[in-house]
Amino acid sequence: MLASVFVVAACGLVYELVAGTLASYLLGDSVLQFSTIIGTYLFAMGVGSWLSRFLTRQLPAHFLRIELLVGVIGGLMPALLFLVSAYSPSPFRGLLYGLVWLVGVLVGLEIPLVMRLLQREYALRELVSQVLTFDYLGALGVSIAFPLLLVPRLGLIRTSVLFGLLNVGVAAWALWLYRGELLRWRAHALACGLSVLALLVAFVGANHITSWSEDRFYADHVLYAASTPYQRVVITQGRAGRLDSIRLFLNGNLQFHARDEYRYHEALVHPAMAGFGAARHVLVLGGGDGMAAREILKYPSVETITLVDLDPNVTRLFSQQPMLRKLNHDALRSPKLTVVNADAFQWLQTRLDDAAAEPFDVIIIDFPDPSNFSLGKLYTTSFYSLVEHTLAADGYIVVQTTSPLIARKSFWTVVATLESIGLRTTPYHAHVPSFGEWGFVIAGHRPYHLPTGLPDGLRFLSAPTLPLLFDFPPDMARVPAEPNRLANQMLVQTFEAEWGEVENNH
- β-pairing, 304-308 vs 281-286, is parallel
The CATH number assigned to the domain holding 123 equals 1.20.1250
Same domain, 188 and 280: no
In this predicted model, which residue has the larger pLDDT, 131 or 383?
383
**Which residues does residue 247 pair with via DSSP β-bridges, in sequence order?**
236, 257
**Average pLDDT score over residue span 209-223:** 75
Instruction: Give the pLDDT band (50/70/90) at residue 184.
Output: confident
**Average pLDDT score over residue span 145-171:** 88
CA distances (Å), 78 to each of 21, 75, 97, 133, 370, in order?
10, 7, 12, 29, 26
**Which residues does residue 236 pair with via DSSP β-bridges, in sequence order?**
222, 247
Task: Assign 383 to helix, strand or coil.
Answer: helix
- pLDDT given for residue 31 in this prediction: 66
Same domain, 11 and 143: yes
Spatial neighbors of 297 by CB under 8 A, at least 6 apart, are: 305, 329, 331, 334, 336, 337
Note the pLDDT tens digit of each residue in 318-328. 999 999 999 99
Instruction: Give the pLDDT band (50/70/90) at residue 123.
Output: low
- Return the C-alpha torsion angle 211, 96, 490, 340, nearest 10: -30
Q: Report the distance separating Cα 167 and Cα 196, nearest Å.
A: 10
Q: Report the distance separating Cα 405 and Cα 434, nearest Å.
A: 14
The CATH number assigned to the domain holding 324 equals 3.40.50.150
- pLDDT given for residue 32 in this prediction: 72
Q: Which helix (H) or strand (E) holds 398?
A: strand 391-400
Residue 29: pLDDT over 60: no
- pLDDT given for residue 287 in this prediction: 94
Residue 8: pLDDT over 60: yes
Same domain, 361 and 232: no
CA distances (Å), 466 to each of 123, 458, 471, in order?
79, 12, 10
- β-pairing, 424-432 vs 360-366, is unpaired
Range of the domain at 186: 2-205
Same domain, 11 and 44: yes
Same domain, 157 and 280: no
Q: Which of 95-99, 217-221, 500-504 has the lowest mean pLDDT?
A: 500-504
Same domain, 171 and 303: no
Residue 21: pLDDT over 90: no
Instruction: Give the pLDDT band (50/70/90) at residue 110.
Output: confident
Same domain, 246 and 298: no
> What single-letter amino acid sits at 289?
D
Average pLDDT of the chain to the nearest whole number:
89
Note the pLDDT tens digit of each residue in 62-105. 999 999 999 999 999 988 888 887 666 678 888 999 999 999 99
Note the pLDDT tens digit of each residue in 131-140. 677 777 878 8
On whether the CB atoms of residues 480 and 419 are closer than 8 A, the answer is no
- pLDDT given for residue 124 in this prediction: 60
Same domain, 142 and 123: yes
> What single-letter amino acid sits at 266?
E
Residue 506: pLDDT over 60: no
- pLDDT given for residue 24 in this prediction: 74
Residue 502: pLDDT over 80: no
Instruction: Give the pLDDT band (50/70/90) at residue 364.
Output: very high
Q: Report the distance separating Cα 369 and Cα 378, nearest Å.
A: 10
DSSP 225: E
Note the pLDDT tens digit of each residue in 434-491. 999 999 999 999 999 999 899 999 999 999 999 999 999 999 999 999 999 988 889 9
Q: How many CB atoms are closer than 10 A to CB 281?
A: 17
Same domain, 336 and 322: yes
Instruction: Give the pLDDT band (50/70/90) at residue 232.
Output: confident
Same domain, 181 and 297: no
* Residue 219 buriedness (CB in 10 A; 0-12 / 13-18 / 19+): exposed
Residue 42: pLDDT over 80: yes
Same domain, 99 and 246: no
Q: How many CB atoms are closer than 10 A to CB 299?
A: 19
CA distances (Å), 429 to each of 296, 470, 482, in order?
19, 7, 21
Instruction: Give the pLDDT band (50/70/90) at residue 238.
Output: confident
Positions marked active-site: 366
> What single-letter amino acid sits at 393?
A
Same domain, 455 and 338: yes
On whether the CB atoms of residues 307 and 337 are closer than 8 A, the answer is yes
Number of domains in the chain: 3
